[in-house]
Chain A
Amino acid sequence: MASSGKLFIDAFWKNNPILIQVLGVCSTLAVTNLLANTLFMCFGLIFTTGLSNLTISALRNHIPDRIRMIVQVLIISIYVMIVDIVIKAVSPDIHRFIGPYVGLIITNCIVMGRAEAFASQNKPFTSFLDGIAMGMGYSMILVLIALVREPLGFGTILGYKLPGLELWWHQWTIMVMAPGAFFMLALFTWFARAKMAAPEGATK
């Protein structure tokens, strides 16, 4: 399938959920101060987008138009419940911190956005791929931001101390607090949009 490859490239760069569509920003910012939290969140998100897209697309001809938002939210929250239980079982410590944010995957606009924009019009398998691709494009940015914030703020990566860093690096606390998240995301968006605007402007 030629189009499925394109789907992934789009999700990673040209149509990236965070940088270009600016969806699902809430959890991006909240969980990226530690890489471990981020990885759990990404796992949950990819799982939810993929399967909820699949389900919604399979049911798309049976859902009455008027109540489709509610049905979509219900389908999504069932998958989020599964994710919540799994994370709780695997790592209660991490669950204590990201617990409320896992619940917020339900209202994460990427999941709803893709369900509404893609899954309600396309075939189940393509929608499933789209969900996975979007989830991965989202995760990529989350991991990148976490990779900047955790070393700068705590001097660690995945909880391991970076060698030699404590000799000259004073922990930059603001990086792991709220403002650091906003500034990092702003820089990423700036970079991506500036890069993207250049070639497009040339072809037009």
Chain B
Amino acid sequence: MEATATHGFAGLILIFVSAAFTDNVLLTRFLGMCSCLGVSKKVDTSIGLGAAVTFVTSVTTALNYLVYKFVLLPLDLDFLRFLTFIVIIAAFTQLVEMIIDRYSPSLYYALGIFLPLITVNCAILGISLFMVNKPYNFLEAFLFGAGGGFGWFLAITLIGGIREKINESMLPKGLEGPGITLIIIGIMSLAFIGFSGIIKV
């Protein structure tokens, strides 16, 4: 089944599920590792950052799609895509931060510290860059972004849960922190390879 051959509702769901599970950005594409290693110490913070990333990814992937298709390609400015995408992502994050700050201070305090982290989260820029290589239309691109963000959210929450438990056990000195987290992620990534037979996109 080719990505272009999947039509209708089922095709859209396939794109979302494959972006979230079989092509999980964190576990198979290695994106967003830095903030994942830093933030995944607790489930609460993981969920907070995961939710923020999912939201920003969905919207910015759609925005980037529009800009890429209707501005960059017609003007033959393909090589400017890095610059454009990162500016859109940074501007959007800034905007969200200001809106949340204005209308919902409590949400701002919950998410506030994560928002600056999002600009430099490679998962978001990465999903936009992978989107460029795929033959998607607007809705598909949006779902690809949403699925990718959701996959990241899922992975970081699971890792947060495992790390909370593992902090209570004895570890070799050098393995504490990033070392053991990388091994956990490695094992989870092995498990996620199991999904790869389910959908072929």
Contact = CB atoms under 8 A, between A and B. Distances in A.
B34 A104 contact: no
A70 B174 contact: no
A195 B185 CA distance: 23
Interface string A68-106: 011001100110110011000000000000011001101
A183 interface: yes
A29 B172 contact: no
A13 to B, nearest CB: 14
A169 B182 CA distance: 27
Contacts of A182: 182-183, 185-186, 189
Interface residues of A, number: 47
> What does DSSP make chain B's interface, helix, strand, loop or mixed?
helix
Contacts of B119: 69, 73, 107
A177 B193 contact: yes
Interface residues of B, number: 47
Nearest to B178: A22
Contacts of B38: 22
A163 to B, nearest CB: 31
Interface of B: 27-34, 37-38, 79-83, 85-87, 90, 116, 119-122, 124-126, 129-130, 133, 172-180, 182-183, 185-187, 189-190, 193
Interface of A: 22-30, 69-70, 73-74, 77-78, 80-81, 84-85, 99-100, 103-104, 106-109, 112, 174, 177-183, 185-186, 189-197
